[in-house]
Amino acid sequence: MAIRIIRTDNDPILRKLSKEVTVFDEKLQILVDDMIETMHHADGVGLAAPQIGVLKRVIVIDLYDDEGPMALINPRFIDQSGLQIEEEGCLSLPGRHGMVKRPLSVTVQFEDIDGETYELTGEELLARVLCHEIDHLDGILYIDKQVTVENKEA
Ligand code: CO
């Protein structure tokens, strides 16, 4: 496993569309392992592959609860409901925070590392992290959706 460099700020790769994963091989396992290690090293609760310069639809999440780290390949929303407005930050936008509107509950379909399809329903923090990380796969950052003016932007 290796810690990868997290792309930040105006790096153009953060704005690109990531491609669907079609090959579930050892290379994908290495990517997932490196993403989890990189997320843990940065004390993050989530990381998307484009943040380490890989334009593949892969996200990892760890809420540091009993669930442990999760890897979701090709995550897509199949349901969402409710509304929450909470503060978010991003490992790619160090030192910044902003309030963002998200659904309170989301259900996501995804493949695991072996290509098996599963569903995951998350509420509150998990819902927010799922939305935030899936946005990264479409080149969207939380600052695009934040509902208050950021202090550091003059
Ligand atoms: Co982020």
- Mean per-residue pLDDT for 13-42? 98
Give me the residue spans of the domains in the chain.
12-151
134 CA from centroid of ligand 1 (Å) = 9
Query: What percent of the chain is predicted at pLDDT more than 70?
Result: 96
- Between the CA of 57 and the centroid of ligand 1 the distance, in Å, is 14
**CA-to-CA distance for 1 and 4, rounded, in angstroms?**
9
Rounded distance between C-alpha atoms, residue 99 and residue 150, angstroms? 9
Average pLDDT over residues 78-107: 97
Q: Rounded distance, CA 8 to CA 52, Å?
A: 9
- pLDDT attached to residue 50: 98
* Residues 48, 46: Cα–Cα separation, whole Å: 7
Is 100 a residue whose pLDDT tops 70?
A: yes
Going through the chain in order, the beta strands assigned E by DSSP cover 46-48, 58-61, 70-81, 84-88, 98-102, 105-111, 117-123
Give the fold, CATH level 3, of 12-151.
Peptide Deformylase (3.90.45)
Statement: residue 142 has pLDDT above 50: yes
Mean pLDDT of the chain: 95
pLDDT at 1: 79
| 86 carries an active-site annotation | no
Confidence of residue 121 (pLDDT cuts 50, 70, 90): very high
Q: Is the pLDDT of residue 153 over 90?
A: no
At 151 the pLDDT is 53
For residue 4, give the DSSP letter. P
Taking the centre of ligand 1 as the mean of its atom positions, its distance from the CA of residue 130, in whole angstroms, is: 10
The two structure tokens encoding residue 151: 């202090």
Q: What is the pLDDT of residue 66?
A: 93
| Centroid of ligand 1 to alpha carbon of 65 (angstroms) | 20
Segment 107-125 mean pLDDT: 98
Of 20, 133, 150, 153, which is the active-site residue? 133
| Residue 85 Cα to ligand 1 middle (Å) | 16
Q: Which pLDDT score is estimated for 148?
A: 72
d(CA 40, CA 49): 14
C-alpha neighbours within 13 Å on the C-beta side of residue 125: 9
